[in-house]
Amino acid sequence: MIVVDAGALVMLLADAGPVGTALRKRVRGERLLAPYLVDIEVTSALLGRHRGGKLTDRELDGACAAFAELPLRRVEHLPLLPRVRELYANLSAYDAMYVALAEGYDVPLVTSDGRIRDGARATGAKRPVEVFNDKALGLR
């Protein structure tokens, strides 16, 4: 079981390159968890990529359909708010929500944003944060 953040999910759904491939390999066979806010975050990011010309209509439709079918367990986030408050010194409330969820379930967090790993470390987060992006994969 792992927690996946919106950035990782967007790359998993919409990136045909090495980062998307690595993420799809990492999550294969895992039980996926995310807070309920993931739905609007992923939708917003996919629509933004479409608006910016990075996704065609067909790619957007495919990514949205794949997201709807993803075996992702959405978790209520209100119980996480006290821990989010503690983590907020070094993370946005959105990012802290994913870190708090990973801690609550005692599982790793998978993200595409190295700043989340750095902020989690600085705050003393209790679970590992796995980063999947060009830099983390040694592509730049």
Q: Which pLDDT belongs to residue 22?
A: 97
Q: Which pLDDT belongs to residue 124?
A: 85
What is the chain's Cα-based Rg?
A: 14
Say whether pLDDT at 137 is over 80: yes
Q: Which pLDDT belongs to residue 140?
A: 76
pTM of the model: 0.94
CA distances from 137 to 19, 130, 140 (A): 7, 11, 8
Query: pLDDT tens, 72-99?
Result: 999 999 999 999 999 999 999 999 999 9
Which ranges of the chain would DSSP assign to H, the alpha helix?
6-14, 18-27, 38-51, 57-69, 81-87, 93-105, 114-123
Query: pLDDT tens, 102-132?
Result: 999 999 999 999 999 999 999 888 889 999 9
Sorted by where each starts, the structural domains of the chain and their CATH numbers stand as 2-131 (3.40.50.1010)
Say whether pLDDT at 39 is over 90: yes
Q: Are 19 and 11 in contact (CB under 8 A)?
A: yes
Tokens 């190295």 appear where? Answer: 114
Q: What's the token pair of residue 100?
A: 């708090």
